[in-house]
Chains A and B, each alone.
Chain A
């Protein structure tokens, strides 16, 4: 390995055969390049999907009422189900121990909202104080709703960061400012921020205020819960599915809905959904690995092919060397040394180029479900090492054949 003469031998050969060396190197480098890019995008997809699910709490479960589609106990299909405070209370009474955070929600619609003279077109939602944790919202300023607001039907509002940027440009902080919702003044007490702009275009007010001030009665639009976080993902999914089914059948009983009429009361579990996506990502990653490994195999076949040609071309030279006293192993060593050198240099070139591309372009990739494609350095390095090893194995057989040809036959080769 550290034999200067042999290194010079290799450089001589490479210098004399630039095109051949370049093509060998290119096949190796492109193999590594494609593999790394594929793996990078596999990781990017996983990142992207994980990101989508981070918007809401990973363990959240949402209940949305719909319309019945089946006749049940004498009731016609086509009934619209209306959730009420009772349903929320009974759900809590039944499953309270399994739940971590909980909040009902009311959409307050068709009301004029003004800040000073400016008319605001943002959705107003009545929620409970836990809602911040269900939505994974961060407080940028002030506070979120609290228990006291809810009991006292306080006329307070929390606005999203986007609203602050759009409307409250003139004031230092929107905290303490008043907005006018259909003639009732609400004091802004907090600003929240979320990952996505559209999630920041909401005004939250206490659920009790929303129901009482705006004639909501005891009607709810939906309910949301989170389950305590568990270490084991699969166990968490099982827990979430069980909770979802219990909750659904409870609400179906209360509203006299057929047990198999899933559209009437829809319960959606983020974890279950996540599992579906993660298994999809797993399949995609497997596919990428498969394609990548096929690419590597193609690279190895290319390298061994070229090694065969190299050896064929150098048969006479090998004969001369043997006549001068070269032992078979020194011939094998010489050819392998060259093959390792070329695969290593081009493999690392492909690696550096592809990782560089991922590093530079990766953070700018803004496609849904793909985020910051990147690749594990250890994985990439071991791929290159595998390729070098494969090059050694692929180069060994032609080299060994060349070394054991009868010297006299090798010398006759034209």
Chain B
């Protein structure tokens, strides 16, 4: 599903050049649930941003579902993001003046899905994350865990090839963290490919594979026995 070869990325910080990714080779198969771990500054978020086409690599190859991702301009990137990817952020990134349902329906608006169908599909995904009766509420009227579930519903609404989650539990307490991970596991059980960036060990062990990043290189890449989050809920 995802194939990257010799990926490099550096940032200019004034006169210094900060080499963040120093040649990453990495493959993800369809249906995997991969945790990317590492301390802060290890380059894990940068890797996820490049995978999510929110950022562009300096060199290296990136193939997503057989499509080589290169020469991106904003319009092209927007197209790919809309077609291939769903995002879940640490800070939810919901639009605060839109109701839960409108937030979930937004990616479908950019897919030119008709209004009525958008609403139906948004409700369906809200039901999947157990928030159907909260559909008309604004993000400010929901708890953090609920907001993250709305964000997951939004990410799933466009039926992406890959779900990218950047510290999805970073702003949540452990109980709600496990609820969110339970949801992510269930979505993975349906066959969706998911990448989770985290620095929490317990969250990482709820995935099927853990990739450790340190100073811009992969130091370890191992399959693990998945811990079901439902055991903790």
Q: Is residue B106 contacting chain A, with contact meaning CB distance below 8 A?
A: yes
A326 and B97 in contact, given A4-B115, A406-B55, A411-B89 (Cβ under 8 angstroms): no
Q: Is residue B121 contacting chain A, with contact meaning CB distance below 8 A?
A: no
CA distance A325 to B111 in the complex (A): 8
Among B20-28, B32-40, B76-84, B191-199, the stretch in contact with A? B76-84
Give every chain A residue within 8 A of B77 (Cβ-Cβ). 407
Give every chain A residue within 8 A of B110 (Cβ-Cβ). 321, 324-327, 330
Task: Please list 14 pairs of residues, one from A and one from B, whose beta carbons are closer than 8 Å in the complex, sorted by A's number.
Answer: A319-B93, A322-B74, A322-B81, A324-B81, A324-B158, A325-B78, A325-B81, A325-B82, A327-B78, A327-B110, A328-B78, A330-B110, A404-B74, A411-B89
Number of chain A residues close to chain B: CB under 8 A: 25
Residue contact B74 to A325, C-beta cutoff 8 Å: no
Q: Chain B at the A interface: mostly helix, strand, loop or mixed?
A: helix
For B81, the closest partner residue in chain A by CB is A325
Shortest B216–chain A CB gap in Å is 18
For B97, the closest partner residue in chain A by CB is A16
Residue contact A327 to B79, C-beta cutoff 8 Å: yes
Q: Is residue A273 contacting chain B, with contact meaning CB distance below 8 A?
A: no
Q: Is residue A12 contacting chain B, with contact meaning CB distance below 8 A?
A: yes
CA distance A407 to B166 in the complex (A): 15
Residue contact A13 to B97, C-beta cutoff 8 Å: yes
Residue contact A323 to B115, C-beta cutoff 8 Å: no
CA distance A275 to B97 in the complex (A): 63
* Interface residue ranges, A against B (CB under 8 Å): 4-5, 12-13, 16, 316-317, 319-330, 403-404, 406-408, 411
A323 and B93 in contact, given A408-B54, A411-B54 (Cβ under 8 angstroms): yes
Residue contact A12 to B78, C-beta cutoff 8 Å: no
Shortest A410–chain B CB gap in Å is 9
Residue contact A329 to B81, C-beta cutoff 8 Å: no
| Max chain B Cβ within 10 angstroms of own Cβ: one of A4, A325, A408 | A325
Q: Which B residues between 46 and 98 are near A, CB-CB below 8 angstroms?
A: 49, 52, 54-55, 74-75, 77-79, 81-83, 87, 89, 93-95, 97-98
Give every chain A residue within 8 A of B52 (Cβ-Cβ). 323
A325 contact from B95, B115, B158, Cβ within 8 A: B158
Give every chain B residue within 8 A of A330 (Cβ-Cβ). 110
| Max chain B Cβ within 10 angstroms of own Cβ: one of A4, A327, A330, A406 | A327
Give every chain B residue within 8 A of A4 (Cβ-Cβ). 115
Q: Is residue B154 contacting chain A, with contact meaning CB distance below 8 A?
A: yes
Give every chain A residue within 8 A of B97 (Cβ-Cβ). 12-13, 16
- Not counting A320-B94, A321-B110, a sample of 6 additional A-B residue pairs whose C-beta atoms are within 8 angstroms of each other reads A12-B98, A319-B93, A324-B106, A327-B78, A327-B110, A403-B74
For A316, the closest partner residue in chain B by CB is B93
Residue contact B82 to A324, C-beta cutoff 8 Å: yes
Residue contact B106 to A321, C-beta cutoff 8 Å: yes
Give every chain B residue within 8 A of A323 (Cβ-Cβ). 52, 54, 81, 87, 93
Residue contact B78 to A326, C-beta cutoff 8 Å: yes
